[in-house]
Amino acid sequence: MMESEKKMKYEITMYKLLGIFIVGLIIFMGIGFWVGNTFGYSRGVDETDIIVPDYCSASYRNGQITVTCTELEDYTALELCNMLSSSLKNKIKVVVIAN
């Protein structure tokens, strides 16, 4: 009888193992959602400082940051064409449609 008492088997049934797995999965998914909401993208974008040059503007709408730059706003089409070299002028054609 002593020998049979010493040989103890630790068994876990498939349903217990499945239950432990599901509970662990739910716990880790909850932790993942909490971390995502605390340190995630939405909080990072809201707290972001955007540094833009004077000729650019930045706007934040619907979760998107849009940076618009107008470097050439002060130049006319004629002034832009005069800045180009003659070899480049021969290679490209510029069409300007204005009001």
Residue 19: per-residue pLDDT? 93
Domain ranges of the chain: 2-91
pLDDT of amino acid 50: 73
Each residue of 13-48: b (16+ CB within 10 Å) or e? eeeeeeeeeeeeeeeeeeeeeeeeeeeeeeeeeeee
pTM, full prediction: 0.37
* Tens-binned pLDDT, residue by residue, of the chain (99 aa): 455 566 667 777 888 889 999 999 999 999 999 888 887 766 555 666 777 777 778 887 877 778 777 766 666 767 777 777 777 777 777 666 665
